Amino acid sequence: MFAGRFQKLFTIEDVVTRSGLDATLADAVGPLLDVALPVDHLDFLKCTNGVEAYGGYVRLFGFGPQSAVDLAQWNSENFWKFAWAGRVAPYFCFGETGWGDQFAYDIGQLNAGDPSVYFIEGLAMQPKKIAADFSEFFASEFLPICRLPYDEMTVAVRQTIGDLLPGEHVAYIPSPVVGGAEVIENVFKIASRSAMIIAGDLALGVDALDADASISHLEQYNDADGCMRIKIVAR
């Protein structure tokens, strides 16, 4: 039986849901993840263990191997957060847009009893509080973009290059961070982990440039773990 507060999700066309977690596992998720997930968020996972909407351009993560995107793996430091040199470490990410923008809790606040939800913009990982708790976020932020994203470019991109798999993002190539134009011709699908790592490389690389420096070119290389990385070379 779906909890009433989440019922509207299942009436929206083009939403992919999954079998919910059983109560015993759902109640163990917080301790297993070492975060105090709010009761309403756990209730959501009992309804559906993650969800993708609007062709995969908006999603909430689930838990374990039956989920499309696993909360534990996604929040593991060595999956993609390492590339941001601690900038995302204070946050527990539980959902995202297809552009890599994250929906997240501040871990310190959460464990202290404050379940505020943050939108963390994907190019620079700058957080902005958007809801007082998961229920408010779900009703006022998530449900509307399941029906139709606010961003007109997202609508145009879906019409042009199609739906996303759970492990895919879209990104501007070259990135606006290094001067790329935000036009649909520059949007491509890319594996989500790679997208997040490269975005971190670019954001931190630009931040590290001297005030009077400019970008000469970008160098691609593989790190010790075989991940594709990008280095900004200044002139």
Query: Mean pLDDT, the chain, as a whole number?
Result: 96
Are residue 66 and residue 123 in the same domain, yes or no? yes
Q: Give the domain extent around 179.
A: 163-234
Residue 3 pLDDT = 60
166 preceded by a cis bond (ω within 30 of 0): no
Are residue 42 and residue 114 in the same domain, yes or no? yes
DSSP state of 145: H
User: What does the pLDDT look like over 38-89, one tens digit per residue?
Assistant: 999 999 999 999 999 999 999 999 999 999 999 999 999 999 999 999 999 9
Structural tokens at position 214: 């400019």
Predicted TM-score (pTM) of the model is 0.96
Are residue 142 and residue 182 in the same domain, yes or no? no
Residue 1 pLDDT = 43
Q: Which of 88, 117, 147 is the last residue of a domain?
A: 147
Are residue 213 and residue 177 in the same domain, yes or no? yes
Are residue 223 and residue 137 in the same domain, yes or no? no
Are residue 125 and residue 176 in the same domain, yes or no? no
User: What does the pLDDT look like over 20-32, one tens digit per residue?
Assistant: 999 999 999 999 9
Of 170, 184, 182, 175, residue with least CA distance to 206: 175
Are residue 29 and residue 89 in the same domain, yes or no? yes
Q: What is the mean pLDDT of residues 117-146?
A: 98
Of 114, 96, 92, 100, residue with least CA distance to 38: 114
Count of domains for the chain: 2
Distance CA 218, CA 220 (A): 7
User: What does the pLDDT look like over 155-204, one tens digit per residue?
Assistant: 999 999 999 999 999 999 999 999 999 999 999 999 999 999 999 999 99
Are residue 121 and residue 186 in the same domain, yes or no? no
Q: Read off the amino acid at residue 43.
A: D
Contact yes or no for 129/117 (Cβ under 8 A): yes
Are residue 102 and residue 172 in the same domain, yes or no? no
Name residues whose C-beta falls within 8 Å of residue 18's C-beta, 6 or more positions apart in sequence.
Answer: 48, 49, 50, 51, 62, 66, 67, 68
